[in-house]
Amino acid sequence: MVDTEITDVTDDIVLMRVVGSKFNQGNMTCIALENGLVFVDTGQNAKYSEQFRKAMEKRFNQKTLFVLLTHSHWDHIFGMETFHDVPIISSEKGVDSIREELAKELSPEGRQKVIEQSKKWLEENKVEITKERQEWFDMLPKVKVSIPTIGIREEMIFHSDGKEFLYRVVGGHSECSSYIHCVSDEVLITGDNLVAKHAANSGCMLAGFGSQGLEVLSQFEKMGVDKYVPGHGPVVNTDYIVKSRKWFSSMFDALRGLKRDGVSAEDAIKDSSLPEFFESETPRSWDMIVEHWYNTI
């Protein structure tokens, strides 16, 4: 069953996750400042973002000040409608990318095309249209996405109650990817440069995670942060970052080696030299993901 899960990261930072979904639903985080609330990302579904906003406004008895976007992928911006009354801040590249998408994939015709192509793919691959998938098809034409109000080129710093917060554009997962460093709280809200529990969040993130993502992960590791709030999955600590970084690094090295030795993609994905995945469950479409890495690293 699809449900939401709330985690208190600190007294003033709260994470909301959508769990039990087959879709790549992005995390949402609320930071309570002394004069109001800041939300990080808007999730994939306005139903959950609205619930979360209301719950946080009630809990902290504060109004919402603004929203920060970690990047412009659909699973992080489709809940935007919930925040139509406050400024939405993203990287400058994020503003450009949403503007471009609104003219292409997110135009009314573009959305219809996405639905038709997905249905065709599902039919060809004999994948049934589940209730959740049908809801997604019904929702897509109606999702209200707007161009962010403010675009940040490199970084933005804000303070509350003597605490410092830093929004920084870092790239990696996508050109427009950014993180939010809650410096005094020693918390890093990472966007999709970090994902935990990959199996529950589909292989989509893994496929989009290449050498640049690995560099950003190494940066995260050195930041001396206590808690990491990923783009998908639960809060993790530095040990998880180290484990994750080491695994991706050895996986990419192994694939590069096989490629150099002239091993085909088809054989490489089954090669015994590849390290075993570091989490207990392997993501769906595993072969497809590894083949994607083989072709792109």
- Interaction site with Zn ion (CB under 5 A): 26, 75, 192, 231
User: For the chain, what is the radius of gyration of the CA atoms?
Assistant: 19
- Closest to Zn ion by CB, 32 or 206: 206
- Closest to Zn ion by CB, 30 or 32: 30
Tell me the closest approach of the beta carbon of residue 24 to Zn ion, in angstroms: 5
- Closest to Zn ion by CB, 160 or 240: 240
Cβ of 196: how many Cβ atoms within 10 Å?
Answer: 21
Q: Please, which residues have CB within 8 angstroms of residue 116's CB and are 6 or more apart in sequence?
A: none
Tell me the closest approach of the beta carbon of residue 43 to Zn ion, in angstroms: 10
Tell me the closest approach of the beta carbon of residue 70 to Zn ion, in angstroms: 9
- Closest to Zn ion by CB, 227 or 232: 232
Tell me the closest approach of the beta carbon of residue 227 to Zn ion, in angstroms: 19
Please classify residue 65 by burial: count the beta carbons closer than 10 Å to its beta carbon, then call 0-12 exposed, 13-18 middle and 19+ buried: middle
- Closest to Zn ion by CB, 30 or 255: 30
Tell me the closest approach of the beta carbon of residue 231 to Zn ion, in angstroms: 5
Tell me the closest approach of the beta carbon of residue 36 to Zn ion, in angstroms: 26
Cβ of 219: how many Cβ atoms within 10 Å?
Answer: 12
- Bridge partner list, 64: 37
- Closest to Zn ion by CB, 172 or 231: 231
- Closest to Zn ion by CB, 101 or 192: 192
Tell me the closest approach of the beta carbon of residue 215 to Zn ion, in angstroms: 19
